Amino acid sequence: MIGKLADEYGRKRILMMILVIYTVSVLFTSISPNFAVLIVFRALQGIGLAINPIAYTILRERLPKEQLPMAQGVIASTFAIGGAVALPIGAFIAQYYDWQTVYWTALPLLIVATVAAYRLLPDSRGSVVKESIDLVGLIQLSLSFLIIGLALTYAHQVGWASPITITGITIGLVILGVFLRRSRSVVNPVISIEDFSNPKVAVPLLASFVSGFGLFLLFQALVYLFELPRPVGFGMDILSTGLTLAPISIIMLIVGPAFGSLAGRVGVKPILITAPLIAALGSLTLAVMVLDYSITVADVMLVLVITLIGIGGMMVSRITLLMMSAPERRLATITGTNTTMRLMGNTLGPVFASSILDTYKQGVLVGMVSNLPILYMVPSRTAFYYIFISSAVTSIVTALMAVRIRETVRGVAEARISTVLRV
């Protein structure tokens, strides 16, 4: 929805509105009097995720097409830098102060970003034709994933094959089907079915959902693995976990621009096929390793580096392909759709992971009372095995989808020669 507004009213104007709303919501989250109010303002913060597609669209407006792959890689690197800095700092504040203080530390940065965007970004004109927003479609799409998410959330309690779980997933899929069918007849649908007729647009959109599901599935499991008590986990506190995960974010600082530069030489398709397979190899290795209780944090981190190299390649290549293939007049709308697809995967991934962790449990000895063992039930290593396998499957599916893309190295070379001749 926000992508469509950005196309119609100007990218900078909508970006400024999003930054202001996001900053205010962070402020009110930090002073929430109870959990219900906190959840409301956390949900409002979700609007801030629309910054991504608008930012990519502004790049497309201002840069030549042949420079886009490297630019996308740089943007991906900035996300990694933010993660690398935020993980240990946020973990330190949460452990030694409180969660409210974490939000307070973000406010000055948001204010600086808002002022900088207003002062430095050039104005962009919107479309002359203003289109209506499909609110019914928004409700249908949201409701379908909410119901599926709830079904997965309670699957460990009622059973994965129980009538309740199957009925919930079925209802969600039926509503999704109604949404897709209705989208064919609506003038301005939330997600245009026509966008999926072009493999160069459809593959990145579908890959965003699948890889988003697998990525958050993986990271959700890693946090649990590091912080659960031994022998299941590594018994680390919040700060130690943040410090351990922070360096891996820096990998994206190198991987993002490297894959962006490589895409300009060999094309996007080879990377979009190879990178997911690298990620799948890493996830499968983690699945095998996690059943061995003698593994160390260093072992996990080493394999995680391989996995993240593949994930970085997936991220850069799919957004690059989408940016180069989408029509400019609907660029923010399509990149907004891409963010929607990714966030739907991001939403269901942790839900699925949490349900798996609650399904497979084992007891950890915490003490003895009258010569009787006191056990604390925690997720077992088997749960992590299935999560890592599931993450690998999503990466393989992404690679298989990329096979449908029609692109050759020759085509890329010709485009670069054409650019030189124009200059």
Taking 3-state DSSP, the helix, strand and coil percentages for the chain, each rounded to the nearest 5, stand at: 80, 5, 15
Residues 88 and 154 in one domain: no
Residues 153 and 268 in one domain: no
Residues 210 and 253 in one domain: yes
Q: How many other C-beta atoms lie within 10 A of the C-beta of residue 292?
A: 9
CA gap 45, 217 in Å, rounded = 21
What percent of the chain clears pLDDT 70, i.e. is strictly above it?
A: 90
Q: What is the pLDDT of residues 137-163, one digit of tens each?
A: 889 988 998 898 889 888 888 888 899
pLDDT tier for residue 296 given thresholds of 50, 70 and 90: very high
Residues 160 and 106 in one domain: no
| 50 Cβ neighbours under 8 A, 6+ residues apart | 2, 3, 18, 336, 339
Residues 151 and 198 in one domain: no
CA 154, 157, 158, 161: dihedral to nearest 10 degrees? 80
Q: What is the pLDDT of residues 350-399, one digit of tens each?
A: 888 888 998 898 887 777 777 777 777 889 999 999 999 999 998 898 88
Res 93: pLDDT: 86
Residue finishing a domain among 145, 162, 187: 187
For residue 170, what are the domain limits?
A: 134-187
Residues 320 and 351 in one domain: yes
The reported pTM is 0.73
Residues 196 and 320 in one domain: yes
Burial class (CB in 10 A: 0-12, 13-18, 19+), 106: middle
CA gap 180, 341 in Å, rounded = 14
Using the structure block, give the residue that is written with the tokens 């996690």.
290
Burial class (CB in 10 A: 0-12, 13-18, 19+), 194: exposed
Residues 170 and 224 in one domain: no
Residues 289 and 155 in one domain: no
CA 335, 413, 316, 89: dihedral to nearest 10 degrees? -120
Residue finishing a domain among 165, 187, 209: 187
Residues 329 and 407 in one domain: yes
Residues 168 and 60 in one domain: no
On the question of pLDDT at 23 being above 90, the answer is yes
On the question of pLDDT at 53 being above 70, the answer is yes
On the question of pLDDT at 416 being above 60, the answer is no
Angle (CA) 393 397 398, round 5°? 120
Residue finishing a domain among 187, 218, 250: 187
Residues 92 and 205 in one domain: yes
Q: Looking at the 3D structure of the chain, how many domains does it have?
A: 2
CA gap 208, 346 in Å, rounded = 9
Helix axis angle for 268-290 and 381-402, nearest 10°, is: 170
Residue 127: give its domain's CATH number: 1.20.1250.20
